[in-house]
Amino acid sequence: MRQLTEQDKKLLAKLAPELQGATGPAPGHDFKFILVPVSHRVSSSPEDFAIRFAKLTDEELTYIIDLILRGEEDVRSLAEGDYDALLEVIEKRLPEKAMNLTNKT
């Protein structure tokens, strides 16, 4: 089972400050992903989801993309429209990386 690294936890805190540093849904149960809790627990819409990811640096976005490409982030369980919203952010900022994602999914 994947456990969040310190970098993952920092990104999760940046994307979802509402979680107030929580790393899991309940004490002792860590989140396994960054995207899913943002999508299902704090994001109110695909637009909100996109706004949260637009705040990341290019380096942070690249890190998320690399996790997706390695299969370490679950994009299939995101709320409806959230993956497309994320892909739009990536297409605007890192079009060459977006092509890698569209070829993989």
Condensed to tens digits (0 to 9), the pLDDT of residues 9-26 reads: 899 989 998 876 555 554
Domain limits, the chain: 6-21+29-104
Show pLDDT as tens, one digit a residue, over the chain (105 residues). 678 899 998 999 899 988 765 555 544 346 889 999 999 999 999 999 999 999 999 999 999 999 999 999 999 999 999 999 999 999 999 999 999 888 765
Determine contact, residues 6/25, Cβ cutoff 8 Å: no
pTM (global) more than 0.85? yes
pLDDT tens, residue by residue, 90-102: 999 999 999 988 8
What is the rounded CA–CA span in Å between residue 65 and residue 48? 19
What's the rounded Cα separation, in Å, for the pair 31 and 3?
7
Q: H or E element: which one contains 67?
A: helix 58-69
Tell me if 30 sits within 8 A of 3, measured CB to CB.
yes
